[in-house]
Chains A and B, each alone.
Chain A
Amino acid sequence: MNLYHSKIHRSLLVKDARTQQRNNAELRFRAYGLTAVSVGIVALVILLVSIFTSGMTAFQQTKLQVTLELPEAKLDKKGQRDLVAMKKVTTIGYFKVLGDGLIAQLERLGVETGLKAKEVREILSKESAATLRNAVLADPSLIGSTVTMEFLANGRIDGYFKGRVDRASAQLDKNVEPGQLDIADALAERRLMYTRFNFNFILAPDASDQRPEAAGLGVAILGSIYMMLVVLFVALPVGVAASIYLEEFAPKNRLTDVIEVNISNLAAVPSIVYGILGLAIFINMAQFNQSSPLVGGLVLTLMTLPRIIIPARAALKSVPPSIRDAALGVGASRMQTVLHHVLPLAAPGILTGVIIGLGQALGETAPLLLIGMVAFVREYPAAFTSDSGLFGEASTALPVQVFNWTQRADPSFVERASGAIIVLLVFLLIMNALAIFLRRRYERRW
């Protein structure tokens, strides 16, 4: 009987059912793997797209130009231009003057409003009165004259220009009237209301719950920079010293074994535990200032140290023994071998690890919440004052500012929080690009 004609195929060229089944299993397995990879990438894309679409608008801000008279009778009753007396007029007084100026301007332009004066005034941000007051106090000669100035529009009007608010939602929102949107349209038509790049978002300090349109990241960025300086100047030397000792000199005994296990455990301790440590030791025991970048930096340093030591040791380890042997062979001591030859060769790898560690510290939020960096801070912190010492003034930090804004009631703060994330991601991108550049440029393969 010819095998070829039997019912069981024996040819290698024809797949039998079982082979077919196994091949299908192979294809399915591949598909699972590909799906898993795509899930990861799609998640990344959705995450970035959602943050960027809701955050990009924070970099734009709606402003309006008002030409108004500054009546002496209201702003400086005595007419002596005495700053102390002038300061008695609060922002409430200025807001009224400014609002009247806006109403007069609308009348001049022939814009019918049909709204109460109070409602027309509320097109302006509450911050705009402070802007006007500061301008007048800086230059009292403005009083009595007619000036043209740029003011922030209210958050809802800003939202209207960014597509967050429309007439239907304005009907339901008690903070904005559809009539106000008509005025905004009329002003925009005459190019007196427009949307511009928002430098204040990056430079200005935080603003209160009532005025999201004025809130900025200035203090937070400064605080984050201070903390990164503390981390860099403490964690880099200490981390490098510790990794040199552990990798090059430590005898293999119980103690160094304990230190090693300890370091890998510290790298995995939840970050919030470091916050508890900072609160208990630096603030409650040592009485350092709450919310200060010094304490924040020290807490982040303790958290970052093991994450620096681990890659630094790997970098030291990757320097081949022949380098050490050669140095020892010509009479260098072990310390000279390490400091003069091994360390310089490992430096790019160590620096890469340090930058990545700094990046993690920059994005860390939880421990900072516990040491009081959630505080509302409007003053730019000084790097050094004789009262509070180095980096001792209250401050906040970028990621904490994001958290802070998510806790505010006004929905405009969501845009601000996402915008702050974009700033944070840009900083991280720069740091990681630097790390990759260093690795590509200087790292040697042995």
Chain B
Amino acid sequence: MVSISFPFSMILLIAVIGYFAARRKAIAMVKGNLRQLQALPQAYGQTVFFTTFLPATVILLGWAFVVRIMGPSHALISDGLFQGLVIITAAVGAALSYLRVKPSQRARAISERWIMVVLMAASALAILTTIGIVISMLSESAIFFRQHSWSDFFFGTVWAPNFRGGSQLSILPLLWGTLYISFISLIIAVPVGLYAAIYLSEYASPSLRSVAKPAIEVLAGIPTIVYGLFALITVGPMLRDFFVQPLGLGSSSSSVMTAGLVMGVMLIPFVSSLSDDIINAVPQAMRDGSLGLGATKSETIRQVVVPAALPGIVGAVLLAASRAIGETMIVVLGAGAAARFDLNPFEAMTTVTVKIVSQLTGDTDFASPETLVAFALGLSLFVITLGLNIVALVIVRKYREQYE
């Protein structure tokens, strides 16, 4: 293992000393007459600081990460030697840039170039994250598909992991549960969210709006584990005792309906805030035209505003669907663990995310297909949600441009 704290503090120390030394040198070289300098004195200091600090730190962290991944035995040089090299790099950087300090040096431009490098590196992290997600799931999924047939995974109909071997691991029953629950949640969230958005933006008095809008937004700020617990201790038992058992539809408190209902509530603010934006983007002139011809307010909304906003609303629904498909805690606590194809919404079923959690928690053996299947499930989930998001974003973007 590479220790980081000591060389890092040394680098920082050298860089700070370099900063003050360079600043002093710049001032001394013009004998205090700052107007003869190309840049402010601290810019000379910053130039030395960045030249010292950034390359050495990048080498240090990069090497430490590589050694962690490859294992210490693969390190080509010993830890002590490496620490020395890093500190020498910093010192050399400091010395070279210190020697180059002179009044005619364009110090501000140089230090700003370093800052720009930092800013660009931060933006590149977004790309790195995506690459990390894809690589981590692709590599483990590849191992899975070497051990397990892909045709069973994609086209089989049974989910029966067996740690003694001979598992049947098919995504289809899980996908069925996922889509069924998402469908129920959207049936609740889309009309409620849409009507709430319409009412709040077109009808509600300012006083009602000032209460109701934040109240609905609070729903969006509640963590999903809270919804999960709500499904587990309130909605599930209530549905079972007052509805499912009296009607003889089943006996389980965790069911597709439980998870779907609660997830529907969770998605209401999501749909309503997205549709609110979209409805507000419809130009007022279109409403005025319709009202001027004698249409009532609701006729205007139904026949002019909603059709004009339809692409955006479709985009919002797709985004909500992607949220529903990827939601984990509500289904872990509310949907159950049985993988099956069934039409009865009061039966317990399971989803892709539930199985990812259950295959990867507890004692796991990362060589067995029963564990690795989670990565293949994750990859499928990622691809599905990514597809939905991209389509939705393209639709929403096109729609916005239409009225801008």
A248 to chain B, nearest CB (A): 9
Are A262 and B126 in contact, with the CB atoms below 8 A? yes
Q: Which residues of B contact A80 (CB under 8 A)?
A: none
Selected contact of A366 from candidates B139, B269, B302, B328, CB within 8 Å: B328
CB within 8 Å for A41 and B229 given contacts A272-B356, A286-B65, A286-B68: no
Q: Which of the 9-residue segments B153-161, B169-177, B341-349, B378-386 touches chain A?
A: B378-386
CB within 8 Å for A242 and B333 given contacts A30-B203, A276-B137, A276-B378: no
Residue A128 is within 8 A (CB to CB) of chain B in the complex:
no
User: Closest residue of chain A to B137, judged by CB?
Assistant: A276
Are A259 and B382 in contact, with the CB atoms below 8 A? no
Interface residues contributed by chain A, number (CB under 8 Å): 89
Are B223 and A280 in contact, with the CB atoms below 8 A? no
Are B115 and A335 in contact, with the CB atoms below 8 A? yes
B259 to chain A, nearest CB (A): 14
Q: Which residues of B contact A23 (CB under 8 A)?
A: 296
Q: Chain A 280-300, CB within 8 Å of chain B: the 1/0 string? A: 110011111000000000000
Are A266 and B115 in contact, with the CB atoms below 8 A? no
User: Once bound together, how far apart are the Cα atoms of A399 and B225, in whole Å?
Assistant: 7
Are B230 and A276 in contact, with the CB atoms below 8 A? no
Q: Which of the 9-residue segments B47-55, B211-219, B284-292 touches chain A?
A: B211-219
User: Closest residue of chain A to B234, judged by CB?
Assistant: A50
User: Once bound together, how far apart are the Cα atoms of A399 and B332, in whole Å?
Assistant: 14
B211 to chain A, nearest CB (A): 8
Residue B73 is within 8 A (CB to CB) of chain A in the complex:
no
User: Once bound together, how far apart are the Cα atoms of A399 and B191, in whole Å?
Assistant: 31
Interface centre among B120, B127, B193, B226 (most CB of A within 10 A): B226
State the main secondary structure of chain B at its contact with A: helix
Residue A35 is within 8 A (CB to CB) of chain B in the complex:
yes
Selected contact of A284 from candidates B108, B366, B378, CB within 8 Å: B366
CB within 8 Å for A41 and B323 given contacts A238-B122, A259-B126: no
Q: Which residues of A contact B228 (CB under 8 A)?
A: 365, 403, 406
User: Closest residue of chain A to B396, judged by CB?
Assistant: A264
Q: Chain B 308-323, CB within 8 Å of chain A: the 1/0 string? A: 0000000000010011
User: Once bound together, how far apart are the Cα atoms of A335 and B200, in whole Å?
Assistant: 43
Are A50 and B393 in contact, with the CB atoms below 8 A? no
Selected contact of A269 from candidates B208, B319, B385, CB within 8 Å: B385
Residue A250 is within 8 A (CB to CB) of chain B in the complex:
yes
Q: Which residues of A contact B194 (CB under 8 A)?
A: 36
Residue B258 is within 8 A (CB to CB) of chain A in the complex:
no
Are B219 and A44 in contact, with the CB atoms below 8 A? yes
CB within 8 Å for A47 and B225 given contacts A259-B127, A272-B356: no
Are A277 and B132 in contact, with the CB atoms below 8 A? yes
Q: Which residues of A contact B222 (CB under 8 A)?
A: 47, 363, 425, 428
Are B393 and A33 in contact, with the CB atoms below 8 A? no
Q: Chain A 130-157, CB within 8 Å of chain B: the 1/0 string? A: 0000000000000000000000000000
Are A43 and B219 in contact, with the CB atoms below 8 A? yes
A40 to chain B, nearest CB (A): 5
Selected contact of A273 from candidates B218, B229, B326, CB within 8 Å: B326
Are A241 and B353 in contact, with the CB atoms below 8 A? no
Interface size class of B (residues with CB under 8 A): 35 or more
B316 to chain A, nearest CB (A): 12
Residue A379 is within 8 A (CB to CB) of chain B in the complex:
no
CB within 8 Å for A363 and B223 given contacts A238-B125, A272-B326: yes
Q: Which of the 9-residue segments A87-95, A101-109, A213-221, A413-421 touches chain B?
A: A413-421
Are A265 and B329 in contact, with the CB atoms below 8 A? no
Residue B221 is within 8 A (CB to CB) of chain A in the complex:
yes
Q: Which residues of B contact A266 (CB under 8 A)?
A: 126, 129-130
User: Once bound together, how far apart are the Cα atoms of A364 and B223, in whole Å?
Assistant: 7
Residue B14 is within 8 A (CB to CB) of chain A in the complex:
no
Selected contact of A36 from candidates B191, B232, B361, B375, CB within 8 Å: B191
Are B375 and A32 in contact, with the CB atoms below 8 A? no
B381 to chain A, nearest CB (A): 6
A242 to chain B, nearest CB (A): 4
Interface residues of A in 25-40 (CB under 8 A from B): 25-26, 29-30, 32-37, 39-40
Interface residues of A in 400-420 (CB under 8 A from B): 402-403, 406, 414, 417-418
Q: Which residues of B contact A231 (CB under 8 A)?
A: none
User: Closest residue of chain B to A45, judged by CB?
Assistant: B215
Interface residues of A in 351-404 (CB under 8 A from B): 356, 359-360, 362-366, 369-370, 372, 374, 399, 402-403
User: Once bound together, how far apart are the Cα atoms of A364 and B29, in whole Å?
Assistant: 56
User: Once bound together, how far apart are the Cα atoms of A237 and B269, in whole Å?
Assistant: 30
Q: Which of the 9-residue segments A65-73, A114-122, A169-177, A302-310 touches chain B?
A: A302-310
Residue A193 is within 8 A (CB to CB) of chain B in the complex:
no
User: Once bound together, how far apart are the Cα atoms of A276 and B232, in whole Å?
Assistant: 25
Q: Which residues of B contact A306 (CB under 8 A)?
A: 126
User: Closest residue of chain B to A284, judged by CB?
Assistant: B366
Residue A323 is within 8 A (CB to CB) of chain B in the complex:
no
User: Closest residue of chain A to B325, judged by CB?
Assistant: A270
Residue A271 is within 8 A (CB to CB) of chain B in the complex:
yes
Q: Which residues of B contact A362 (CB under 8 A)?
A: 223
CB within 8 Å for A406 and B382 given contacts A242-B123, A271-B326: no
Are B298 and A40 in contact, with the CB atoms below 8 A? no
Are A269 and B127 in contact, with the CB atoms below 8 A? no
Are B69 and A37 in contact, with the CB atoms below 8 A? no
User: Closest residue of chain B to A417, judged by CB?
Assistant: B229
Are B204 and A418 in contact, with the CB atoms below 8 A? no
Are A280 and B140 in contact, with the CB atoms below 8 A? yes
User: Once bound together, how far apart are the Cα atoms of A432 and B390, in whole Å?
Assistant: 30
Q: Which residues of A contact B361 (CB under 8 A)?
A: 369-370, 372, 374
Are A406 and B386 in contact, with the CB atoms below 8 A? no
Residue B357 is within 8 A (CB to CB) of chain A in the complex:
yes
Residue A12 is within 8 A (CB to CB) of chain B in the complex:
no
Are B136 and A22 in contact, with the CB atoms below 8 A? no
Are A265 and B390 in contact, with the CB atoms below 8 A? yes
Contacts A22-B299, A33-B199 known; 5 new A-B pairs at CB < 8 A: A50-B234, A276-B374, A287-B71, A305-B129, A365-B228
State the 5 A-B residue pairs at the shortest beta-carbon distance, nearest first.
A270-B326, A363-B223, A33-B199, A280-B136, A36-B195
| 17 cross-chain CB contacts under 8 A | A25-B299, A26-B299, A29-B297, A32-B199, A37-B196, A51-B230, A238-B125, A239-B122, A270-B328, A272-B328, A280-B136, A280-B137, A362-B223, A363-B223, A365-B225, A370-B357, A418-B229
Residues of A within 8 A of B (CB): 22-23, 25-26, 29-30, 32-37, 39-41, 43-44, 46-47, 50-51, 54, 237-239, 241-242, 244-246, 249-250, 258-259, 261-266, 268-277, 279-281, 284-288, 302, 305-306, 309, 333, 335, 339, 356, 359-360, 362-366, 369-370, 372, 374, 399, 402-403, 406, 414, 417-418, 421, 424-425, 428, 432
